[in-house]
Amino acid sequence: MAAISPQTTFQGDIFSAPLVHTDKNLLACVEPDYKPFIPANSLRRMTRVLKIGLTTALQCINGSGVETIGPIVTGTGKGSLQDTEKFIREIEQYKETALNPTPFIQSTYNSVNGLIALQVKGTAYNNTFVHRGFSFENALLDSMMLLAEGAPNTLTGAFEEITAEHFYIKSRIGFWKDAPTDNRALYETLTPGSIAGEGATFFLLTGTPAPNSKAALTGFKMLYKPAEAKLAAALAEMAAGADLVLTGRNGDSRYEHYYQQLDTLLPGIPQLPFKHLCGEHDTAGAFGMWLGAQILHAQQVPAQWFPMLKDIPATAGKILLYNHFYGEQHAIMVLERV
């Protein structure tokens, strides 16, 4: 697996990487040097989310020990915003004439998938889900079905970017907090809105444990606009035996009550929130899964990333991950040590 995120997750030791923080209400990715991954002539044309998506996918493959990549399945809520914005602007600016097609092509939601397939000669199944907080999650479900159908492996991931323009647009409908909020203090004051984020996360999944396996996904559920009782029942059932809960808490007072259910349903099980690390975005759940797998694999929690918590568990054997996107798409996962 691999992740490019607002933290230094792509290279180096995450257990010693300092917490990146800002009070701009927007956590932007720490971008790596792309040159070792993408030929220079391709790199020039590519916009940011294409670069982070493709590079994360390639890094994931490199570290997996798998040589032949099977199906490629991804999720993205917004695709390449930069290209979408650029093409809208150029249509207006050049009065619909002499347009450069590149931003149009790259704005297509499956363009990252196409690039990955091109670069790794991946001719198997290829799919892209574009459903807000169910984008990565549907890609994961699709991958699990593919493995059950006999695929040797799947390359499964998510990518999202936030642009200045889109940050402004979403601020007009209350997505972000009004007051500048340092991500270290995200959980201190409950007010409407969260802080924005972005990132790319990829996993190489197999149906049976492999020497390189980091963790096992043993439970998974998506709930669309569930009644509180339905959600509570699912959380309680899937939490059986869990010794750590990863939550998508994001400081948004409007939807905090969903996360507060965990406090009453699962008293005594330590919780780690992860949105101060990656920011809120459609595919933040993928980052949560990456963090959970890191903890299970290393049998260690990157404690320096949680300065706001008094008691940080040393490790975990079974993790319940619960995340929702603005109260609509709820996802619950169970991750276990291999």
Partner 1 sequence: MAERVFITGMGMITAIGDNVAENLERLRQQRSGLGFTSYIDTIYKQVLPVAEVKHNNDALFALAGITPREGYTRTTLLGLAAMREALRQAGIADIQSAPTGFINASTVGGMCDTEKVYFDIINPEKNGTFLQYIDTLDCADCTQRIADIVGFSEHIATISTACSSSANALMFGARMIKQGFLPRMVCGGTEALTRFTLNGFNSLKNIDKQFCRPFDQQRTGLNLGEGAAYLVLESESFARANNSRILAEFTGYCNANEAFHPTSPSPDGDGAYEAMKSALAMSGRTLGEVDYINVHGTATLNNDVSEGKALERLFGSGVPRFSSTKPFTGHTLAAAGAIEAIYAVLAIQQGIIFPNLNFKEKMEELNITPVTELMEGVSVNNVISNSFGFGGNNASLVISKYEG
Tokens in use for 74?
A: 């991804």
**One residue of 15, 63, 66, 125 binding partner 1 per CB under 8 A:** 125
Give DSSP secondary structure letters for 186-224. Answer: TTTS-BS-B-B--EEEEEEE-SS--TT---EEEEEEEEE
Q: With binding defined as CB under 8 A, does residue 113 bind partner 1?
A: yes
Stretch that binds partner 1, among 114-122, 273-281, 310-318, 330-338 (CB under 8 A): 114-122
Mark 68-94 as b/e (b = at least 16 C-beta within 10 Å).
ebbbbbbbbbbbbbbbbbbbeebeeee
Stretch that binds partner 1, among 1-9, 115-123, 207-215, 254-262 (CB under 8 A): 115-123
The minimum distance between CB 145 and partner 1, in angstroms, equals 5
242 contacts 269 by C-beta, under 8 angstroms: yes
Residue 47 DSSP symbol? -
Q: With binding defined as CB under 8 A, does residue 206 bind partner 1?
A: no
Q: With binding defined as CB under 8 A, does residue 333 bind partner 1?
A: no
**One residue of 11, 62, 68, 123 binding partner 1 per CB under 8 A:** 123
Stretch that binds partner 1, among 100-108, 201-209, 263-271, 309-317 (CB under 8 A): 100-108
**One residue of 8, 127, 271, 300 binding partner 1 per CB under 8 A:** 127
Report d(CA 65, CA 16) in Å as an integer. Answer: 25
CA angle 167-169-171, nearest 5°?
70
Q: With binding defined as CB under 8 A, does residue 41 bind partner 1?
A: no
- Of 24 and 132, which has the nearer Cβ to partner 1? 132
Q: With binding defined as CB under 8 A, does residue 104 bind partner 1?
A: yes
Distances 24 to 6, 27, 208 between C-alpha atoms, Å = 13, 8, 43
Stretch that binds partner 1, among 5-13, 98-106, 237-245, 250-258 (CB under 8 A): 98-106
Binding mask 160-189 for partner 1 (x = CB under 8 A): -----x--xxx-xx----------------
CA angle 293-283-239, nearest 5°?
50
**One residue of 53, 122, 251, 285 binding partner 1 per CB under 8 A:** 122
Stretch that binds partner 1, among 22-30, 119-127, 185-193, 270-278 (CB under 8 A): 119-127
| CA nearest neighbour of 319 among 208, 236, 238 | 238
Tokens in use for 202?
A: 């990829």
Q: Answer left, alpha or beta for residue 66, where phi above 0 means left and psi between -120 and 50 means alpha.
A: beta
| CA nearest neighbour of 52 among 98, 97, 9 | 9
**One residue of 129, 202, 274, 290 binding partner 1 per CB under 8 A:** 129
217 contacts 321 by C-beta, under 8 angstroms: no
Question: By the criterion CB under 8 A, which residues form the site for partner 1?
Answer: 72, 77-79, 87-88, 91-92, 95-97, 99-101, 104-105, 107-111, 113-115, 117-118, 120-132, 134-135, 138, 142, 145, 148-149, 165, 168-170, 172-173, 222, 224-225, 328
